[in-house]
Amino acid sequence: MSQTKLSVNINKFATLRNARGANNPNLIQVAQDCERFGAQGITIHPRPDERHIRYEDAYELAKIVTTEFNIEGNPQKGRFLEIVKEIKPTQVTLVPDSDGVLTSNAGWDTIKHQDYLKEIITDLKNLGIRVSIFIDPIDQFIEAAATTGADRIEFYTESYANNFKENPKKAIQKYVQCAEFAHKLGLGINAGHDLDLDNLNYLAKHLPYLQEVSIGHALVCDALYLGLENTIGLYKRALKV
Ligand SMILES: CC(=O)[C@@H](O)[C@H](O)COP(=O)(O)O
Ligand SMILES: NCC(=O)COP(=O)(O)O
């Protein structure tokens, strides 16, 4: 199987930019440099409060991203659905974030929201957009994800990351079982949230059919010490299995 792709989530560069109200770091330059340094995709997660990525950023980035452009967010909130339908990025990742959350903290209940997801996913796929849905490793939600028409699922990997140090094999077990099940149902597999240089190589080695990881917070923190080019190289190396 081909190597898992690295999509760099640049939210936290926007956090730093917004802290002073000007345009440093310049998000366009950051995205272009991430791609030049080896990123195989750029991910953004515009939230309704625009705490980091602003809706305008999405339009400007769409003009320059040459790898894969992945826009994550809750289709029920803010201008998310409007902008992704206009931009038509490579991929949209649907995330069921509630207002005011510190960060994404749950996957979809694809049974409860089955009809809604089917409708949204059909519309987005009709626009030529690949659709992924953020999900926990729970069998019945994986099964229902397949009937929504989603192209891929994105495993919410906070639980893996939290349990990795204590017992890697146990931390990944449910994800492996769900990945096998999802593959049998014809779903592609992405993963993201709290992945870092400690836990990424083990995930890449043991999670079957993993096509893409989107990584932001830890990567940006590492880049503050190690430099962005070096850090992207280290994350790409961790994905070589
Ligand atoms: C869905 C997901 O895990 C990422 O989009 C993550 O939520 C990043 O969002 P923040 O950068 O706002 O934490
Ligand atoms: N989908 C996960 C993502 O884009 C980045 O999550 P994190 O690495 O910032 O936790």
Residue nearest to atom 9 of ligand 1 (CA): 103
pLDDT at position 191 over 90: yes
216 is annotated as contributing to ligand binding: yes
CA–centroid distance, 213 to ligand 2, in Å, is 8
Say how many Å lie between the CA of residue 140 and the centre of ligand 2.
24
The pLDDT-based confidence of 157 (bands split at 50, 70, 90) is very high
Q: Does the Cβ of 95 fall within 6 Å of ligand 1?
A: yes
Share of the chain above pLDDT 90, in %: 97
Mean pLDDT, residues 7-25: 98
Return the ligand 1 atom nearest residue 193 CA: 3
CATH topology of domain 5-238: TIM Barrel (3.20.20)
**Catalytic residue flag (residue 45):** yes
What number is the average pLDDT over the span 186-203?
A: 98
Question: Residue 206 catalytic?
Answer: no
Specify the pLDDT at position 12.
Answer: 98
CA distances from 102 to 79, 154, 228 (A): 19, 19, 25
Average pLDDT value for residue range 89-97: 98
- The answer on pLDDT for 1 being more than 80 is no
82 contacts: CB under 8 Å, gap ≥ 6 = none
Task: With a cut of 80, say whether residue 121 has pLDDT above it.
Answer: yes
Ligand sitting nearest the alpha carbon of 161:
2
pLDDT at 100: 86
Q: What is the dihedral of CA 193, 152, 142, 6, to 10 degrees?
A: -30
